[in-house]
Amino acid sequence: MLSTELKEFLDSKVIEYNNLNFIESDPISIPHKFSLKEDIEIAGFLAATIAWGNRKSIIKNANRMMDHLGNSPYDFILNHSESHLEPLDNFVHRTFNGLDFRSFIKSLKYIYTNHGGLEAIFSSPTKNGSLQQHISEFKTVFFEIEHLSRTEKHVSDPLKGSAAKRINMFLRWMIRKDNAGVDFGIWKNISPSLLSCPLDVHSGNVARKLGLLNRKQNDAKAVYELDLSLRKLDKKDPVKYDFALFGLGVFEKF
C-alpha cells in the first residue's frame, strides 16, 4: 500500500477496534472495575504482568488477583500484614506464582511509600523520545528491596533486548487518552507521543505484512523500528495503531 492508503486503512481499523466493545475480552477490563486512580494503576499493572497466554485465562486469573486484594488494591498494598499475604501462596498463572505475587505486593508498597507511586517513576523527562529507558529504570527501582531472583523475569528490561510488551501495554492504558472509553489517560504529565507499541506475535506479524516492520524477532530493536513507522503515521498518538494491528491479527487473522 501507499503510505496514504495505509494510514487510511489503519485509521479505519483503529475506529473499528478502539471502542467499548474491545474491553470485555481484554485484560484492560480489570482496571476498568475501579474508579480510584491508584486502584486503576495497580490493577492495570498486575493484570498486564500476567497478560500472556490464553486471554480468558488471563482475565480469570487477574480477577482472582483482585479478589486476593479484597478488590481494594491500593488499600491492600499500603496496609497489608504478613498474614494477609498467606492466601496469595496458592495463586498461579503460568510461571507467575504466589511467591512472585507476594514480591510484587511488597515492591508496590515500597514504590508508593518511597517513590510517590507508579506514575512518578515514569514522569521524569526523556532524552530520546521514548519511555524505554524509564522502563529499565523502573525495574531497577522495583527490585531495590529484598526479593526472590526468580521474580525479576516478570518485569522486562528493554535495555537488555526485551520488547517489554506487557509493560508497554500498561503504559498505553495509563497514558493514552482515547476519548472512546478504553485507554484511561490518567497519567497527565506524560505525552502519548512517547509510547511504544506493545509488540507481540499478532501485532508483529501484521506489521510485517503491512511493511511497517522488517525485523523478524519481536525484541527491543523491533519495537524501535515499529515506533519509527507508527510515528510517521501519527506522531502525537502512534500507539493508537496497536488496536488496528492487534485487531487485524487476533480477530481477522490478517
Residue 254's pLDDT is 87
User: Within its chain, how far is the Cα of 220 from the centroid?
Assistant: 15
Average pLDDT score over residue span 135-147: 96
Task: Using pLDDT thresholds of 50, 70 and 90, give the confidence band for residue 168.
Answer: very high
Using an 8 Å Cβ cutoff, are 43 and 55 in contact? Answer: no
CB atoms within 10 A of CB 187: 20
pLDDT digits (tens, 9 = 90+) for 74-132: 999 999 999 999 999 999 999 999 999 999 999 999 999 999 999 999 998 777 788 99
Distance between CA atoms of residues 66 and 33, nearest Å: 10
Rounded distance between C-alpha atoms, residue 8 and residue 2, angstroms = 10
- Each residue of 211-225: b (16+ CB within 10 Å) or e? ebbebeebbbebbbb
Percent over 90 (pLDDT), the chain: 92
**Distance set, CA 71 to CA 33, 67, 103, 120 (Å):** 9, 5, 19, 24
Residue 64's pLDDT is: 97
- State the pLDDT at residue 182: 97
pLDDT digits (tens, 9 = 90+) for 208-227: 999 999 999 999 999 999 99
Q: Is 230 exposed, middle or buried (0-12, 13-18, 19+ CB in 10 A)?
A: buried
Query: DSSP letter at 106?
Result: H
* Average pLDDT score over residue span 12-27: 95
Closest CA to 89 of 119, 68, 59: 68
Q: What pLDDT is stored for residue 125 in this prediction?
A: 78
Output the pLDDT for position 1.
Answer: 59
Grid cell locating 252: 481477522
- Mean pLDDT throughout 234-247? 96
Res 195 pLDDT > 90: yes
End-to-end CA distance of the chain: 15
**Would you put residue 34 in left (φ > 0), alpha (ψ -120 to 50) or beta?**
beta
Comparing CA positions, the residue from 162, 164, 90 lying closest to residue 122 is 164
Residue 2's pLDDT band (cuts 50, 70, 90): low
Residue 68 has pLDDT above 80, yes or no: yes
Q: Name 112's Cβ contacts closer than 8 Å, sequence gap at least 6.
A: 38, 74, 77, 78, 118
Beta pairing partners, 97:
92
Q: How many CB atoms lie within 10 A of CB 84?
A: 14
Q: Measured at the alpha carbon of residue 204, what is the angle toward residues 31 and 161, in degrees to the nearest 5?
A: 85
pLDDT of residue 249: 94
- Tens of pLDDT, residue by residue over 27-64, are 999 999 999 999 999 999 999 999 998 999 999 999 99
Query: What is the percentage of the chain residues whose pLDDT exceeds 70?
Result: 99
Q: Return d(Cα 116, Cα 120) in angstroms, integer.
A: 6
Q: What is the mean pLDDT of residues 188-207?
A: 95
User: Is this structure's pTM higher than 0.75?
Assistant: yes
The pLDDT of residue 206 is above 90: yes
**Does residue 253 carry a pLDDT above 90?**
no
Handedness of CA 238, 57, 37, 155 (dihedral sign): negative
